[in-house]
Amino acid sequence: MPATAPTVVFDVGNVLLRWDPTLVYRELIPEAGKRDWFMRNVCTGAWNIEQDRGRSWEEGVALLVSRHPEWEREIRAYDERWHESVPGVIEDSVAVLAELKARGEKVYAITNFSREKWAECLIRFPFLQSFDGVVVSAHERLIKPDPAIYRVLFERYSLGARDCIFIDDSEKNIAAASETGMKTVHFIEPIDLRAALRGHGVSL
């Protein structure tokens, strides 16, 4: 790979690992309409992101149970059965990561992830330990798309924004990364990730 080629920086959820919290509730809340209501009004994205920001799962669950005691079983399942929401890997993306590492390239990640679930995933998916550096939102108490979390990556690992290409499934996160000067790939399946990276000068 030419020296001028960008350093690849991955998101993790829905780029390398499949994540869908509704998978936990297909059995617990079989009626689709009721399940959708629960995800919009009880175990919401806004509630979940606070665990990614650094709040413990114990605290997050206790808070929600106090607000919605009638949903206690379902709320606790979000935490206790969280592994079911991550059914596996996105094989092509993991293959690209492995190929870059095999070529001796340094590869990084910035991910919105809770402290507890990140530790769980490092055991369940050992390839996540192959990064040369990872910025985990809960560890920093910063979440994408806050520009500060991208600056943590640049400063900690002595990277220049314009020398990096960031892959993420969130349009907001991609926009924020672009504003820092990073090249970006908006990961929406079906995507030919290799072709997208080649378009930015990565040899694959």
Percentage of the residues of the chain whose pLDDT score is greater than 90 = 97
Please, are residues 108 and 7 in contact by the beta-carbon 8 Å criterion?
Answer: yes
What mean pLDDT do residues 156-161 have? Answer: 98
Confidence at 198, pLDDT banded by 50, 70, 90: very high
For residue range 160-181, list pLDDT tens digits in order. 999 999 999 999 999 999 999 9
- The pLDDT of residue 2 is 42
Asked if the model's pLDDT at residue 134 lies above 80, the reply is yes
Alpha carbon distances (Å) from 24 to 79, 83, 203: 10, 9, 39
Q: Which long-range contacts (CB under 8 A, 24 or more apart) does 69-77 make?
A: 71/38, 71/42, 73/28, 74/25, 74/28, 74/29, 74/38, 74/42, 74/43, 75/42, 75/43, 77/24, 77/25, 77/28
Asked if the model's pLDDT at residue 4 lies above 90, the reply is no
Residue 118 sits in a domain of what CATH number?
3.40.50.1000
For residue range 93-104, list pLDDT tens digits in order. 999 999 999 999
For residue range 36-56, list pLDDT tens digits in order. 999 999 999 999 999 999 999
Tell me how far apart the terminal alpha carbons of the chain are, to the nearest angstrom: 8
- Whether residues 152 and 139 fall in one domain: yes
- Whether residues 12 and 33 fall in one domain: no
Q: Which of 60, 85, 110 is the last residue of a domain?
A: 85
- Whether residues 172 and 78 fall in one domain: no
Percentage of the residues of the chain whose pLDDT score is greater than 70 = 98
- Whether residues 170 and 186 fall in one domain: yes
SS3 readout for 39-86:
HHHCCCHHHHHHHHCCCCHHHHHHHHHHHCHHHHHHHHHHHHCHHHHC
Domain enclosing residue 178, as ranges: 7-18+87-198
